[in-house]
Each structure stands twice: as C-alpha cells, then as structure tokens.
C-alpha cells in the first residue's frame, strides 16, 4: 500500500511540475483568462480547441510549421518548452 501511495505522489508531483513549466499567465494576457478571446483579434479561440489540437498547434509553432499572422510571435513564446511540457500544458486548457 505504501508503495502505491508513494508512486502516486511521485507521479502527481512530476505532472504538476511539468504543467507548471509553461507560463500560462503569459498566454492568458492575449487569449483571455478563460481562453475565450482571439489573441490580438487574429487567433483561433483556444477554449473551443481540443487538447490534441492545442498541443499540435504549440508544437507546430515551436517547429515553425504551424500558424498564420502570429506565427513568429508564438514561436518565441513556446520555443523554450519541451514537447512534453507543451503536451502537459495542453491538457489543462481547451476541451
């Protein structure tokens, strides 16, 4: 029983650390606290996107393979994060 509890706590700690790696506050300044704004009137509404679509978009911005008029700005926002960080963060927003 102790091993299960310790393993569960360790898994939760790793997941929390990974989610905390992405600065969501920087995102919400443009996308809105509830993700319902079109950033600078040009982006998709993140709240209506699936977790998978959000992760794909963020990783695509990082790779330079995704995006429209905000591609350059977004590449700079996500470049410092690992794909695992972006995947974990995507699970916390969208649908």
Phi/psi at 93 (5° precision): -135, 170
Residue 72 placed within a domain: yes
**Among 67, 50, 44, residue whose Cα is nearest residue 77:** 67
Number of domains observed in the structure of the chain: 1
Segments forming the whole domain that contains residue 80 = 2-90
CA distance 82 to 84: 5
Per-residue pLDDT of the chain (95 residues; tens, 9 = 90+): 555 545 445 444 444 444 448 888 889 999 999 999 999 999 999 999 999 999 999 999 999 999 998 899 999 999 999 999 999 999 999 88
Residue 31 placed within a domain: yes
pTM score, two decimals? 0.75
Residue 71 placed within a domain: yes
């Amino acid at each position: 029983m102790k091993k299960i509890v310790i393993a569960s706590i360790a898994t939760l700690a790793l997941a929390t650390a990974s989610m905390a790696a992405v600065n969501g506050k920087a995102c919400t300044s443009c996308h809105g606290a509830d993700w319902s704004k079109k950033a600078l009137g040009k982006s998709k509404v993140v709240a209506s996107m699936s977790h998978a679509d959000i992760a794909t978009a963020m990783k695509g911005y990082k790779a330079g393979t995704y995006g429209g008029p905000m591609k350059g700005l977004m590449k700079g926002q996500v470049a410092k994060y690992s794909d695992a960080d972006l995947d974990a963060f995507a699970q916390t927003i969208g649908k």
